[in-house]
């Protein structure tokens, strides 16, 4: 996905920039940014792979945690407290739904879901203000937040589906590698029993 200048109905609705799918699909990761972890044919990590994982883990610990536990802008204002509580419950529920339907949840999809949950909580807040007062500005803020939350939810579902597909392909590749390794081992055993060597 990439940003582009809004036109047509998006422009008429007041948007200046919108998300657009990249026509050639996901872009590759720059070289060296995500080197594969060295593994044995059976899928276990080699000593070099363990060292690489340790380095990655140390680097990740240096990064700020923008998760729910350490958000510096919380606690919320008194008006938003019940919506924040509902946001946390909704986020937990949505994460569980995605994990159960796709088999996992990456930190990237989790970040999209956190944004979705905040937008949804904001929409619910403005909905309560609109229904309590009939204020047109609250209605506009509510509809804008619900639209944004819907877009974030769609992005999270797309990302989760892509990740599920990538996991399946990775699992299939690991299974194929394990099958080849067992076939090679079998052929060696067969050759040893018949007296042939390779």
Q: pLDDT by residue for the chain (198 residues), tens digit each?
A: 556 777 787 778 887 777 666 555 555 544 555 567 888 888 888 998 888 888 777 765 665 555 555 555 566 788 888 898 888 889 889 888 888 788 777 888 888 998 999 999 999 999 999 999 999 999 999 999 999 999 999 998 888 888 888 877 777 777 778 788 888 888 888 888 887 655
CA distances from 187 to 42, 53, 73, 179, 184 (A): 17, 34, 62, 12, 5
Q: Which residues of 141-162 are buried (b: 16+ CB within 10 A; e: fewer)?
A: bbebbbebbeebbebbbebbee
Q: Decide: 126 and 138 in contact? Cβ < 8 Å.
A: yes
Q: Is 124 exposed, middle or buried (0-12, 13-18, 19+ CB in 10 A)?
A: buried
**The predicted structure's pLDDT at residue 136:** 95
Number of neighbouring beta carbons within 10 Å of residue 80: 16
Number of neighbouring beta carbons within 10 Å of residue 88: 13
**The predicted structure's pLDDT at residue 62:** 61
Question: Length of the chain, please?
Answer: 198
Backbone angles phi, psi at 81, to 5 degrees: -55, -50
Picking from 15, 22, 28, the residue whose alpha carbon sits closest to that of residue 1 is 22
Overall pTM surpassing 0.85 (yes/no): no
């Amino acid at each position: 996905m990439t940003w582009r200048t809004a036109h047509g109905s998006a422009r008429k609705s007041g948007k200046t920039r919108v998300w657009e799918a990249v026509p050639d699909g996901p872009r590759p990761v720059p070289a060296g940014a995500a080197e594969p972890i060295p593994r044995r044919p059976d899928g276990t990590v080699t000593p070099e792979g363990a060292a690489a994982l340790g380095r990655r883990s140390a680097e990740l610990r240096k990064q700020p945690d923008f998760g729910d536990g350490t958000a510096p802008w919380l606690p919320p204002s008194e008006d938003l407290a019940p919506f924040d509580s509902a946001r946390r419950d909704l986020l937990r529920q949505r994460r569980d739904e995605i994990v159960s339907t796709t088999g996992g949840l990456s930190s990237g999809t989790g970040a999209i879901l956190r944004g979705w949950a905040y937008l949804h909580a904001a929409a619910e807040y403005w909905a309560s203000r609109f229904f309590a007062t009939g204020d047109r500005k609250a209605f506009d803020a509510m509809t804008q937040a619900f639209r944004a939350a819907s877009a974030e939810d769609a992005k999270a579902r797309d990302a989760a589906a892509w990740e599920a597909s990538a996991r399946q392909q990775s699992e299939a590749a690991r299974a194929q590698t394990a099958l080849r390794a067992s076939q090679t081992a079998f052929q060696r055993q067969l050759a040893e029993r018949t007296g042939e060597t390779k």
